[in-house]
Structure 1
């Protein structure tokens, strides 16, 4: 599954390298991806990748910066927080899953920045939803934001398994899994308060 191809009109060698790195890091993880593979996928020489970025870590930092800029641009365009999250995951979902998960490699600080940006979007979405009445606030909104990021990224983290489950079609896997997730968000999962009770809470307290 290809990740974040270079936008139309942005087909310079540098843009192709970044698009290739986003894809290769998403597919193989940071440590397993190689500069040679990134170069081949971009249709350029390894020397040109080194010329533009120097090291694999610097290239990864540029990929992270592109994700952060994408989020900032969407927020500056007054896009709703929910739509920002959907668009970020739609474009960078596989990359984020790898970089935030075990495949993120040695770039722990960069992963923390990405997570913090997604967490900020989730916080804004929760605040916006609670203020307008379409989202139920939690007793712990900060943990609610973290849980939202976790659930949003998880399908991409398990995309290989989901793709196999869906007969080899990654797009179909994500489409199908989005339906029960939307049902879970909209209607909840249980018909009584047993899970709240197990957590030491009551339905009245959680409202």
Structure 2
């Protein structure tokens, strides 16, 4: 099951086309692009395969529309919210879909990843400027790390659900606490890890 808030995707637009896109987002997230079929997407949307083909032609065109929905969502959030809030909104809404798509090869997946890194970089810039976020020695790598940490739980959603008595929602909610602690307080109480990277020398300690 896709754990995705649907308010901006489905509830305001109950047309057959919108139901097809919502079903595609769900099926691609659940099975991946290659394994998801037009027949399964049509059944999930409650329409015929012929109608899916009528609206989109091919599965690739349908995937392109799903990616476009993500891009539009990002643009809308960037217009309406602080930059520091956008990455969380995107992952909270499309996390399972993004996890599947980013795991695939191809230009479309490359473009999705680049857009998420761009969003994360804006979040870091906003947080650093306002003083609530600590900048990294390598801000670009920090942006990539934020994307990886944000997507990672969705890559293991089945495992997390099994850990939480078959409830992925409960698993994600429980993980939110230690992740927030990690972001807020850190994990290590000294600089041994920074020393291991070479950023902190023995002489400077």
1:158-173 mapped onto 2 (5 Å cutoff): 158-173=156-171
In the comparison of the two structures, how many residue pairs are matched? 201
- Report how far residue 7 of structure 1 moved: 2.7
Q: Is the 8 A contact 2:39 2:49 kept in 1?
A: yes
SS of the residue 1:7 aligns to: helix
Aligned to 1:174: 172
1:54 matched to 2:64? The reply is no
Which of residues 28, 33, 41 in structure 2 aligns to 1:30?
A: 33
Q: Is the 8 A contact 1:162 1:170 kept in 2?
A: yes
Which of residues 138, 148, 156 in structure 2 aligns to 1:140?
A: 138
Q: Is the 8 A contact 1:4 1:22 kept in 2?
A: no
Over the residues paired in the alignment, what is the CA RMSD in angstroms?
1.8
TM-score scaled by structure 1? 0.92
SS of the residue 2:10 aligns to: coil
Q: Is the 8 A contact 1:26 1:95 kept in 2?
A: yes
Aligned to 1:125: 123
Partner Cα separation in structure 2 for residue 136 and residue 70 of structure 1? 27
TM-score scaled by structure 2? 0.93
- Report how far residue 203 of structure 1 moved: 8.3
Q: Is the 8 A contact 1:71 1:88 kept in 2?
A: yes
1:75 matched to 2:73? The reply is no
Partner Cα separation in structure 2 for residue 121 and residue 15 of structure 1? 26
- Report how far residue 4 of structure 1 moved: 5.2
Change (3 A) 1:144 1:203: farther
Q: Is the 8 A contact 1:4 1:23 kept in 2?
A: no
Q: Is the 8 A contact 1:85 1:118 kept in 2?
A: yes
4+ residue runs of structure 1 moved beyond 4 angstroms? none
SS of the residue 2:149 aligns to: helix
Which of residues 195, 198, 201 in structure 1 aligns to 2:196?
A: 198
Unaligned 5+ runs, structure 1: none
Change (3 A) 1:84 1:200: same
